Amino acid sequence: MATANKNLSVYNKADIPNAKDLRFGIVVAEWNDQITEGLYTGALEALLDCGAKEEHILRWDVPGSFELTFGCKKMISTQKVDAVIAIGSVIRGETQHFDFVCSAAAQGVKDLNVQTDVPVIFCVLTDNNLQQAIDRSGGKHGNKGTEAAIAAIKMATLGG
C-alpha cells in the first residue's frame, strides 16, 4: 500500500510557502463523519500552522463523497478561494457502490482541475475497512488532511 511506510502528517515548514495571504475552501462529506472530521481537523491545523488566517478558511458540508464535485464547483464559482480541498471517506461495503462513488469523486475532482483555474485537492480516503481509514485520518499513518493542506498551499502558489 502506498501509505504503508509513510506518515501523511510529516512536512518541513521551511519548504512550504507562507499561506498568510491565501484563501482556502474545504468541502467536507458527511458520510463516515468520524473519519472526515479527523481529515478536516488535520487540514485546518496544517493551514493555520503554515500561516493561513482562520477567517480565510471557508468550510462547506455535502452529504457524501459523490457530492464533492458539485460542492467544490459551486464554491469555486461563488467564493474567492485560491485552492479547495475536497474531503471524503469511502469505505468498501458489500456492493459495487464503493467503486462508483470512488470513481465519481476522483473523476469529478480531476475534471475541475482541468476546467477551472482553482486547484482542487483530492483528500478522499478509499479504504477496505474502517481501521484503515482511522489509521490515515489522525492515526498511526498520520493524517491525509495534513498532506492535502500542504498540497493546497503548494498548488495555490504554483508558478510564483
The verdict on whether 56 is a catalytic residue reads no
- Encode burial over 115-132: b for 16+ CB neighbours within 10 A, e otherwise: eeebbbbbbbbbbeeeeb
Which CB, 79 or 129, lies closer to ligand DLZ?
Answer: 129
Asked if 144 contacts 35 with a C-beta cutoff of 8 angstroms, the reply is no
Q: By CB under 6 A, which span of 6-14, 24-32, 72-80, 132-140 interacts with ligand DLZ?
A: 24-32
Asked if 7 contacts 42 with a C-beta cutoff of 8 angstroms, the reply is no
Asked if 128 contacts 93 with a C-beta cutoff of 8 angstroms, the reply is no
**Candidates 13, 97, 103, 129; catalytic one:** 97
Please, which of residues 67-96 interact with ligand DLZ by CB under 6 A?
Answer: 67, 88-91, 93
Single out the residue of 63, 103, 128, 131 in contact with ligand DLZ (rule: CB under 6 A).
Answer: 63
Which CB, 90 or 148, lies closer to ligand DLZ?
Answer: 90
Asked if 60 contacts 71 with a C-beta cutoff of 8 angstroms, the reply is yes
Q: Which residues carry out catalysis? A: 97
Q: Which residues bind ligand DLZ (CB under 6 A)?
A: 29, 31-32, 63-67, 88-91, 93, 97, 101
